[in-house]
Amino acid sequence: MEDGSWKHGTVRFEFAKELIIIISAFYSPFMMVWDPTYVLIIIGMLLSLAASGMVRSTYAKYSGVRAMSGMTGAQAAERILHSKGIYDVRIEHVSGNLTDHYDPRSKVLRLSDTVFGSTSVAAIGVAAHECGHAVQHQEGYAPLSIRTAIVPVTNFAATLSWPLILIGLLLSQRTGNLLIQIGILLFCAVVLFQLITLPVEFNASSRAITLLKQNGILYENEAKMTGKVLRAAALTYVASAAASILQLLRLIILFGGRNRDD
């Protein structure tokens, strides 16, 4: 994980997961014959594509709605943090589109090009969401603490899970089976991380809406628009977790009876 950045870490987890999905889709005991477990891969990919498309379209729609307060994402973040007595978190600009994240290790809240200086209700919502993570950190929110603690393990698991499975297919039965089982167990750690991420993200969004209204940054109708943006973003985490669970189920179906068959 780069400098404790969860968003960067999530990108790495997603890359590893997609690598598993794409490569393992071509493996089955029947090789060139249709494998019914492909359905699990297809469902997972469709869920991810649908969620990704929804968040892009929703953000694009409300990024064109200027907040009545005229505050930028960075200004809104500063007001929210100060309202919660948080003065030791720096707000920085980071390049990219929706690369926003809160880094708990260095206590830095980084806002992307489309959020930092934007006055849209969408941008302010994203900034407030990241502030929600900072507030979670300050209050010792349990799911966040657990997620932070298992990040190194999850990085390790995401990097090695599929290579071990692939190598296991090429080796002798006894050694190969062992590597495959270890690979599946490591992938379980990735799935666990994504499941723990769900309450963390939903809670941060809930806090964001409340804080935006409490601090007079958004009016009620604007908060409703922001809520739609954050709910769409949260669905990407749900879809990602669902796709990973389906992929894990496929691995278990394909390899779970391998020892018995051998």
Q: Which of 78, 130, 201, 222 is catalytic?
A: 130
Distances (CA, A) of 57 to 60, 122, 189: 5, 11, 32
User: Residue 14 catalytic?
Assistant: no
Question: Could you tell me the two tokens for 8?
Answer: 């960067």
Q: Which residues make Cβ contacts (< 8 Å) with residue 84, sequence separation at least 6? A: 131, 134, 135, 138, 211
> Could you give the residue numbers annotated as active site?
130
